[in-house]
Chain A
């Protein structure tokens, strides 16, 4: 019998096995790139210190500050106490100290490369096809857009990887999401992933690695693929992946950390075999029709509670917490969402803070005004994106529309750095989680694409972006 074909995921998995799994022990998986940030590492560094351990390979660690980092300008550490509260400020200082002590290069306030951890990795070319990438952050799934196997880990595991460059893992199952058709005008990658999560459910991907496939996959840009992979975790999946192709290689070719010269040719050879073989059966499969897709918004308190923007809020989804969720959101079943007044618009986060996202928002905001009474915040994903946006004059478009233009960071995505939506306030947000209080205590969140967020900012209420495009 011929050897059965392998999926993209299985190829990357097998390439990284230091020790295979047995019924009694998990596999030891080698990790090529470890991304770290200030919130999920302090206790890991402390555990190394307690055990007298050092880092196995500091060159495989990429460090930034993003989660609790202020988005108001901080020129030096001395400024930190002016713009940040004591907790976040101490945490940032702790990060600087840990990186110095353990010999890790940190992209701090003075680095023009600093950014949200999942924006920065790809931008620098550190994210590459076929790599294993981990980070103490669940949205590490973002890097799967390049054909890497990338997933979030806890702080204990951060310690394991720092000390050994390895991770204990059981092999996940495979899940194909087949996307066919092309996006209509006004519809974005964010709408694709919200549709997928609505369809498979917030736990539909548990224990699986998703591969996004089908005719749509090859057409999407790397930025769009990142938006989709980013939210794989919101469907419960361990990771999400796209097979690398010419678009991937073109994206990476001139990036600072990409292989150069003969190394590039070698890499291309390795990367080109990273596709799922024909006739491979996945453990699970789902089909999505992209031709018919409309802009999507969420109405509840998990990302699976999503609907077509021009539809009405469903009466139930069979969930125990459905009613409680609508109560929290102050949203009524059976009613449309379009026209519902909002207080805040947030354009940012590792889901939607890249240059294409900012261009999408700027196109709609150009020569228009953010509605009175709406606070609009635009936060670029990295210093590089900030610079590029400013060179294109996007910052001016945002500011003359009445939106705030900030320094890079996670900001209002999780509301740790002081940027919050406000108690009881309703936000349209391009981030990835609409959990109760995710964007600050009492905050109510509607997830949407940058186009929908920008259109809603102008109308002062939930708005269909096709009205302005």
Chain B
């Protein structure tokens, strides 16, 4: 896994609450046995019409959002199914962070294991982001804040262990496996 310290990007805004994982990646794209290419199915039913043409006014389809790696979305982002295909699709499409006022538990867990930052911001900062579509932000894991190009600085919380793993490019399974003795002892206890 690549280390993540900080990055800068313009933002693209989807100001809808409760965006569920069926919207992020519909079930028909889940018949895969690898993680590759899932970005093609990202928000598929919002991005494309019946005949597969791009829906022009969908935010991700507009020229100004090209190359954006920060998505601003409504509250309870990622609710619904446990499909890790959702963060895989977001990452494959090019996103590195989702900024929202709240996230669903399983999505948040899954995102953090794939180098995608689900960052909870204040209502005030969120309103600023939705009002200033396309604004540039710098996300720093080192400083634990987001700096917007209009001079605002928004701190965020991140589960310390996930932060450590992200900043050092560490796979969390290694941490569990290092506790082999404790696991064995637990099993022996019956």
- Least Cβ distance of A363 to chain B in Å? 32
Q: CB within 8 A of B17: which of A25, A46, A91, A320?
A: A320
Tell me if A154 and B81 are in contact (CB < 8 A): no
Tell me if A203 and B176 are in contact (CB < 8 A): no
Max count, chain B CB within 10 A of own CB: residue among A91, A166, A440: A166
Q: Counting CB contacts under 8 A, is B92 at the interface?
A: no
Q: Counting CB contacts under 8 A, is B168 at the interface?
A: no
Tell me if B175 and A25 are in contact (CB < 8 A): yes
- Least Cβ distance of B55 to chain A in Å? 14
- The answer to whether A164 and B177 touch (CB under 8 A), given A321-B16, A435-B22, is yes
Q: Counting CB contacts under 8 A, is A433 at the interface?
A: yes
Nearest B residue to A410, CB-CB: B27
CA gap between A156 and B113 in the complex, in Å: 7
Chain A contacts with B in 146-177, Cβ cutoff 8 A: 152-157, 159-160, 163-166, 168, 170, 172
Contact residues on A (Cβ < 8 Å of other chain), bracket: 35 or more
Contact with B along A325-343 (1 / 0, CB 8 A): 0000000000000000000
Q: Counting CB contacts under 8 A, is B154 at the interface?
A: no
Max count, chain B CB within 10 A of own CB: residue among A91, A156, A238, A442: A156
Chain B count of residues within 8 A CB distance of the other chain: 51
Tell me if B82 and A137 are in contact (CB < 8 A): yes
Tell me if A153 and B30 are in contact (CB < 8 A): no
Tell me if A414 and B33 are in contact (CB < 8 A): no
CA gap between A23 and B163 in the complex, in Å: 12
Q: CB within 8 A of A157: which of B35, B113, B159?
A: B113
Complex A-B, nearest 3 residue pairs according to Cβ-Cβ distance, in ascending order: A87-B31, A42-B33, A154-B110
Chain B contacts with A in 16-61, Cβ cutoff 8 A: 16-18, 20, 22-23, 26-28, 30-35, 45, 50
Q: Counting CB contacts under 8 A, is B12 at the interface?
A: no
Tell me if A88 and B82 are in contact (CB < 8 A): no
- Least Cβ distance of B94 to chain A in Å? 20
Q: Counting CB contacts under 8 A, is B134 at the interface?
A: no
Q: Counting CB contacts under 8 A, is B151 at the interface?
A: no
Tell me if A441 and B176 are in contact (CB < 8 A): no
Q: CB within 8 A of B81: which of A137, A156, A170, A302?
A: A137
Tell me if B33 and A25 are in contact (CB < 8 A): no
Q: 14 more A-B contacts (CB under 8 A) besides A138-B106, A140-B82, A153-B82?
A: A18-B182, A18-B183, A28-B183, A39-B83, A43-B33, A152-B81, A159-B173, A163-B177, A168-B161, A321-B16, A321-B17, A321-B74, A414-B81, A440-B28
Tell me if A206 and B182 are in contact (CB < 8 A): no
Tell me if B113 and A435 are in contact (CB < 8 A): no
Chain B contacts with A in 100-115, Cβ cutoff 8 A: 102-106, 109-110, 113-114
Chain A contacts with B in 404-456, Cβ cutoff 8 A: 414-416, 423, 433, 435-438, 440-442
CA gap between A40 and B85 in the complex, in Å: 9
Q: How many A-B contacts if CB must be within 8 Å?
A: 173
Tell me if B173 and A320 are in contact (CB < 8 A): no
- The answer to whether A88 and B31 touch (CB under 8 A), given A19-B179, A164-B176, A321-B18, is yes
Q: Counting CB contacts under 8 A, is A111 at the interface?
A: no
- Least Cβ distance of A298 to chain B in Å? 13
Q: CB within 8 A of B79: which of A39, A87, A202?
A: A202
CA gap between A85 and B45 in the complex, in Å: 21
Give chain B residues whose Cβ lies under 8 Å from the Cβ of A85. Answer: 31
Tell me if A28 and B104 are in contact (CB < 8 A): no
Nearest B residue to A239, CB-CB: B105
Contact with A along B112-155 (1 / 0, CB 8 A): 01100000000000000000000000000000000000000000
12 example contacts (A-B, Cβ-Cβ < 8 A) are as follows A19-B179, A40-B83, A46-B33, A46-B34, A68-B31, A88-B31, A152-B82, A159-B173, A163-B176, A164-B183, A414-B27, A437-B45
Tell me if B106 and A154 are in contact (CB < 8 A): yes
Give chain B residues whose Cβ lies under 8 Å from the Cβ of A90. Answer: 31, 33
Tell me if A435 and B106 are in contact (CB < 8 A): no
Q: Which residues does A use to contact B, with CB under 8 Å?
A: 18-19, 23-26, 28, 30, 39-40, 42-43, 46, 51, 56, 67-68, 85, 87-88, 90-91, 94, 136-138, 140, 152-157, 159-160, 163-166, 168, 170, 172, 202-203, 206-207, 236, 238, 302, 319-321, 324, 414-416, 423, 433, 435-438, 440-442
Tell me if B113 and A207 are in contact (CB < 8 A): no
Give chain B residues whose Cβ lies under 8 Å from the Cβ of A40. Answer: 82-84
Q: Counting CB contacts under 8 A, is B75 at the interface?
A: yes
Tell me if B104 and A203 are in contact (CB < 8 A): yes
Tell me if B161 and A26 are in contact (CB < 8 A): yes
Tell me if B76 and A24 are in contact (CB < 8 A): no
Q: CB within 8 A of A154: which of B28, B84, B179?
A: B84
- The answer to whether A154 and B182 touch (CB under 8 A), given A159-B173, A164-B173, A416-B28, is no
Give chain A residues whose Cβ lies under 8 Å from the Cβ of B179. Answer: 18-19, 28, 166
Tell me if B110 and A156 are in contact (CB < 8 A): yes
Tell me if B22 and A433 are in contact (CB < 8 A): yes
CA gap between A67 and B8 in the complex, in Å: 39
Nearest A residue to B17, CB-CB: A320
Max count, chain B CB within 10 A of own CB: residue among A67, A138, A436: A138
Give chain B residues whose Cβ lies under 8 Å from the Cβ of A203. Answer: 18, 75-76, 79, 102, 104
- Least Cβ distance of B75 to chain A in Å? 7
Give chain A residues whose Cβ lies under 8 Å from the Cβ of B113. Answer: 154, 156-157
Max count, chain A CB within 10 A of own CB: residue among B18, B75, B164, B175: B18
CA gap between A435 and B176 in the complex, in Å: 36
Tell me if B104 and A206 are in contact (CB < 8 A): yes
